[in-house]
Structure 1
Amino acid sequence: MSHDPQTPAIVSLAAGGVAGAVEAFATYPFEFAKTRVQLREQKGVATPKNPFKVVAQVYRTEGIKALYKGCSTLVIGSVGKDGIRFLSFDTIKNSFKDPETGTLSPVRNLAAGMCSGVVASLTAVTPTERIKTALIDDARNEKRFRSMTHCIKTIMAEDGIGGLYRGLAGTTLKQAGATAFRMGTYNILKDYERTRDIPQTTFTNFANGSVAGIVTTLATQPFDTIKTRCQSAKGASTVEAFRSIVADYGVTGFWRGTTMRLGRTVFSGGILFTTYEWAAALMMPLVVARKEKLRE
C-alpha cells in the first residue's frame, strides 16, 4: 500500500476496487470450497477437507459453472468492499502517522485496519457475503435461487432488509479482525522495509501480502465459520450458528475450512496488494495531470 500521505481518495477507492475484483475472481474456487465445508453436511455425504478434492468433486458432479456459483456477487461486493477498505484505511492511517518518520506503530496499524474493516462490513461486505453464501448453500440442496437478483428478491420478500444483514455480528468481527491483521501486518512489513531501504518490487509486494494473508486467516477463522453458518440459505442467528458448530464438530469446528481459506489467502493477499500497487501507480499520474490542468 502506498505510504504517500498525498494519495488522492479517488486513487485509493478505484485502485482498491480493481484489486478486490481481480483477487475475488482469481481465487473464487478456494472460497467456494471453504464455504461448502463450513456449511452443515448433508446426511451420508461427507465433505473432504482437502480443498483440491472439494473442487475436483464439484467439478465432476456439477460442472465448472458450479465452482463459480455466487462469484459475480463476491466480485461486485469486493469492488465495494476493497475500495472502501483501502480508502478508509488510507485516510485513517495518514491521520495516525508519526509526522517525522511517516510510519505507524504496530498498534496504530492494527487499529486503523480494525476501523476500516468495520466500515467495510456495514457498507458492503455483509449483504454480499450473505447472498454469496446463500447461493452456494442453495445450489447443493433446494436449488430455488435462479440468479443473484432472484436470491436478493427472495430473501427480501421473506425477511426484509434484515435478511441481507444476517450474520452482521460475525461478519463485522471477522472484517474488523481480518482488516486489522491484513492491513496492519502488510504495513508493518512495508514500514520495516522502508526504514531499511529494501526495494519495493512485485515480489516483495506479493510476499508481504501473502504473509499478511496467513496471519489474518489463522487469527480470524472462528469468526468466518460462524458467519458462514449464519448466512446459509435458511439463515441462523449468531447464537444458533455457534451452538451448531460445537454440536457438529466441537471447539475445533471453529477452524473448519482453514486449509481452504489459507490456500486462498496466501494467493489473495499477494494478488490484492500487488494489484493495488500497480493500479495506484497507473492512476496517480493521471490524477496529478488532471489536477494540474484544472489549476491552469
Structure 2
Amino acid sequence: MVSGTNDLNTPPLVSLAAGGTAGAIEAFTSYPLEFAKTRVQLRQQKGVPTPRNPFLVVTRVYQKEGIRALYKGCAALVVGSVAKDGVRFLFFDQIKHAFADPETGTLSPLRNLAAGMTAGVVASIAAVTPTERIKTAMIDDARNDKIFRSGFHATTTIWKQHGIKGLYRGFAGTTLKQASATAFRMGTYNTLKDFEKSKKIEQSTLVNFANGSVAGVVTTLCTQPFDVIKTRSQSARGASTAEAVKSVLLDFGVRGFWKGTTLRLGRTVFSGGILFTSYEIAVKLINPFYSGITHSIGAEAS
C-alpha cells in the first residue's frame, strides 16, 4: 500500500485538505511543548538557568500560571498550521509529481530536499510568518506586559503600530527556517518511505509515526539556528534579523543558536509522528469522498 505523500495521483484539493487537517491536529496536541521552547528562546536575564527538560518547563508554567497560559497563542498557531501544512503538502506533492522518476515514481534525496525547500518558501510567505509572529509576540507578552487580550487583538495592535511590516517581522529568519525545515522534514520522510517501498515494507500507522519522528529529529538538528533567530525577531517588541543574531551572540555566544534544541526535539519527535500519520489517515478518508463528488459532477455533466 502506498501512502498519500508517495501517491503521485493524490488530487491537489485532497493534499490541501489533508495537509490542513494534519497541521491543525499536530499544532494543538503539541502546543505546550512549542510554548516551552519559545519561552526558553526569548530573551532572559543572564545567569538565570533555564531547564532543558521540556516537561519541566511545562510543569512550572502550569503550576504558576495555569493551563490557559500553556495555550497562549495556540489559536494563531493552529490557524497558521492549517494554512501552512495545507500549502506545503499541496506544493510538495505537486513538485514531487513534476520531479519524480516516471518509471519508479520516486525522487532522489536531493530532489526531495529541493521540493521541500520550495514548498517551505511558499508556506512562509502565504501563512507561516504572520501567524508565527502573532504566536511568539503573545507568548512573550504573557510573561511581561500582558497587553494582548487575544490573537485578534494582538494582530490588530501590531497592524496599527507597525503595519504589514509588523506582521512580517522576522520574515528572513522564518523563511530560512521554514524552507530548510520543510526540506529536511519532507525530504527525510519521503526518502524513508521510498526506501521502505523498495524493500516492500508495509506502511502501517506505527511505521508512518516512526518515519515522521525520525524526520523531526533530523529537521531540528539541522535548522535550530534559524528557529532561534526567528523567535528573537518575533518577540513582542520585535527586532530585525541582524539585531536578533547580535542579541543571541551577546547573550549566549555561538552556542546560543542551539538554545532550546532539547525542548524543540521533545516537540518535533512527537509532532512529526502526529503530522505525517494524520496526513496519511486524512488522505485515506478524504480521497473516496472527493472521488465520489468528482464522479457525480462528471456524470451530471455528461
TM-score class, shorter-chain normalisation, is over 0.9
Q: Show the counterpart of 1:36.
A: 39
Q: Show the counterpart of 1:277.
A: 280
Contact preservation (8 Å) 2:5, 2:190: no
Say whether residues 1:85 and 2:107 are aligned partners.
no
Aligned residues with identical type, % of pairs:
69
Contact preservation (8 Å) 1:77, 1:128: yes
Say whether residues 1:135 and 2:138 are aligned partners.
yes
- Cα distance in 1, alignment partners of residues 180 and 7 from structure 2: 25
Please state whether the residue corresponding to 2:6 is helix, strand or coil: coil
Distance 1:75 1:36, change over 3 A: same
Q: Show the counterpart of 1:147.
A: 150
Unaligned runs of 5+ in 1: none
Amino acid at match of 1:145: F
- Cα distance in 2, alignment partners of residues 240 and 93 from structure 1: 37
- Cα distance in 2, alignment partners of residues 264 and 229 from structure 1: 19
Q: Show the counterpart of 2:235.
A: 232
Say whether residues 1:15 and 2:28 are aligned partners.
no
- Cα distance in 1, alignment partners of residues 52 and 64 from structure 2: 17
Say whether residues 1:97 and 2:100 are aligned partners.
yes
Q: Show the counterpart of 2:252.
A: 249
Q: Show the counterpart of 1:161.
A: 164
State TM-score, norm by structure 2: 0.96
Contact preservation (8 Å) 1:41, 1:47: no
Q: Which one of the candidate residues 67, 80, 86 is aligned to 2:70? A: 67
Q: Quote how far apart the aligned CAs of 1:156 are.
A: 0.7
Contact preservation (8 Å) 2:137, 2:235: yes
Please state whether the residue corresponding to 1:113 is helix, strand or coil: helix
Q: Which one of the candidate residues 20, 28, 50 is aligned to 1:47? A: 50
Q: Show the counterpart of 1:192.
A: 195
Deviations, residues 170-199 of structure 1 (Å, cap 9, x unaligned): 000000000000000000000001111110
Which deviates further from its counterpart, 145-154 or 208-217?
145-154
- Cα distance in 2, alignment partners of residues 136 and 148 from structure 1: 11
Aligned residue pairs total 296
Q: Show the counterpart of 1:24.
A: 27
Distance 1:44 1:98, change over 3 A: closer
Contact preservation (8 Å) 2:46, 2:251: no
Please state whether the residue corresponding to 2:239 is helix, strand or coil: coil
Amino acid at match of 2:113: L
Amino acid at match of 1:256: K
- Cα distance in 1, alignment partners of residues 191 and 52 from structure 2: 33
State TM-score, norm by structure 1: 0.98
Say whether residues 1:120 and 2:123 are aligned partners.
yes
Q: Quote how far apart the aligned CAs of 1:17 are.
A: 0.3
Contact preservation (8 Å) 1:34, 1:260: yes
- Cα distance in 1, alignment partners of residues 255 and 32 from structure 2: 24
Contact preservation (8 Å) 2:232, 2:244: yes
- Cα distance in 2, alignment partners of residues 44 and 68 from structure 1: 27
Q: CA RMSD in A?
A: 1.0
Q: Show the counterpart of 2:223.
A: 220
Amino acid at match of 1:56: T
Q: Quote how far apart the aligned CAs of 1:44 are.
A: 7.4
Please state whether the residue corresponding to 1:2 is helix, strand or coil: helix
Q: Which one of the candidate residues 105, 109, 117 is aligned to 1:106? A: 109
